[in-house]
A = this chain, B = another copy of it.
Amino acid sequence: MTAEPNLGLLCFFPYRALEGRVLAALAEAGFDDLTVAQGRIAARVGESGTRLTELAEQAQVTKQTAGFLVDQLERAGYVHRVPDPTDGRARLVCFGERGRAAVAVARRVEAEVEAEWTAHLGEETTRALREALTRLREVTDPWR
Contacts and interface: CB of A to CB of B under 8 A. Distances in A.
A16 B117 contact: no
Given A8-B113, A15-B8, A113-B8, A129 B120 contact: no
A119 to B, nearest CB: 9
B14 A46 contact: no
A59 to B, nearest CB: 10
Contact of A8 (B18, B60, B141): B18
A113 B9 CA distance: 12
Interface centre among A9, A46, A114, A133 (most CB of B within 10 A): A133
A1 B45 CA distance: 7
Contact of A12 (B15, B110, B138): B15
A139 B125 contact: no
A12 B18 CA distance: 10
Contacts of A140: 13-14, 16-18, 117
A16 B126 CA distance: 21
Contacts of A135: 120-121, 125
Given A11-B11, A45-B1, A136-B117, A17 B129 contact: no
Given A8-B113, A14-B136, 14 more contacts: A6-B18, A6-B110, A7-B114, A9-B15, A9-B43, A10-B134, A13-B140, A16-B140, A17-B139, A117-B140, A125-B128, A126-B132, A128-B129, A129-B129
